[in-house]
Structure 1
């Protein structure tokens, strides 16, 4: 079953706690928390204090996406704030394997995020310490961008490679995941959907309705 995770950078920050509670009750599977440093990507978002402030409001996993330079320097901070999963970018650290192993050693799931132009081959020698892979279907930094169509092919290639090599690794997709793109990413192997303004945070549409629609896509795929 495909897992649904709201991207909290798209939420109303003035009412974040109540939003987390409503999303939890509406049936999301995890929460996706984007952390940006204004250097690796041209934006700033959630910090550890904000993550910690909402940790007690839900038992669902916190998936912390570190879009920061030298993520190894920030692991302890976000682990202590309540992360259950942490993903890092291949380009952001010199010691990718060691950083992923450190995340695992601390009892969390370790993820690698691939920017649209980052080749799958970057994973070749770290794949044995990876629990999930995030395919960025837009360039990271801002919400509301257009889905990059070539990411369907990249997703399919990654899915085929994981199956061929016999690894048990989840594939997450992040960026303009909505009505027009969900069927395609599911067909090409996505296991986890990071959902923002294209599917979940829509004006005047209840979370329950949006989540039911997302889950229905998965049911339709299973029937076909």
Structure 2
């Protein structure tokens, strides 16, 4: 029997003036993971938060912190985000010269390691990496901003990665991020996703709606 899909609300869409309250609210509403988008204004065209904010949020929930590093070069920041409370650290293969070494470093810190593929990054990038990682994050928008529309071609990529994971026989999470809402979520799940990042769709309407929003993403 398939496991229920995990929902990882992206705090990029939360109210930054009260992030601690927002994290507690989505925890109570039924979030499985807390997705934290870290952007440097260089690798992606936006600037968000650093390890200090992650550390400040850590006491507000026991849910796993799913930290997506959209920064380059990435290696020099791994220790700081691990120490701040990240549980999973996901990086892009383009964000450093030696991505296998980056994955080894994350694992040496006792953290789960993820690889994120941008819309134009081919599935073959996972060759020689899949056995080493715990999560694949498929970007179904070009990273940098919330509220973008789902890129349809990424459904084929999700299907291809699902087949590779199943053939490997190792428990690897297949997460999708970008344009995920009540309409696109079931399509991503049908293609093979078992974790969904949703910012706008989760935080829409304010705290009174978060639980209903999360249920809608699950198809409940």
The reply to whether TM is greater than 0.5 is yes
Name the counterpart of 1:16: 19
Offset at residue 38 of structure 1 (A)? 0.7
d(CA) in 2 for partners of 1:162 and 1:141? Answer: 27
1:160 aligns with 2:163: yes
Q: CA deviation at 1:214?
A: 2.1
Aligned counterparts of 2:203 and 2:174: Cα–Cα separation in 1: 22
CA shift at 1:102, angstroms?
1.1
Aligned to 1:187: 190
Large movers: runs of 4+ above 6 Å? none
Unaligned runs of 5+ in 1: 220-224
Cα-Cα RMSD: 1.1
> TM-score w.r.t. structure 1 length?
0.93
- Equivalent residue number for residue 97 of structure 2: 94
Q: Distance in 1 between matches of 2:147 and 2:24?
A: 24
Q: Please state how far the C-alpha of 1:49 moved relative to its aligned partner.
A: 1.1
1:175 alignment partner, one of 178, 181, 192: 178
TM-score w.r.t. the length of structure 2 is: 0.95
The answer for the alignment partner of 1:6 in structure 2 is 9
Q: Which residue is equivalent to 2:111?
A: 108
1:167 deviates by 2.7
Which range moved further: 165-174 or 70-79? 165-174
Correspondence list, 1:204-219, <5 A: 206-215=209-218, 217=219
Q: Partners of 1:36 and 1:61 in 2: how far apart?
A: 20
2:139 corresponds to 1:136: yes
Aligned length: 216
Alignment-derived partner of residue 202 in structure 1: 204
The 3-state SS of whatever aligns with 1:125 is coil
Distance 1:167 1:117 in 2: 25
Contact 1:9–1:46 (CA under 8 A) maintained in structure 2: no
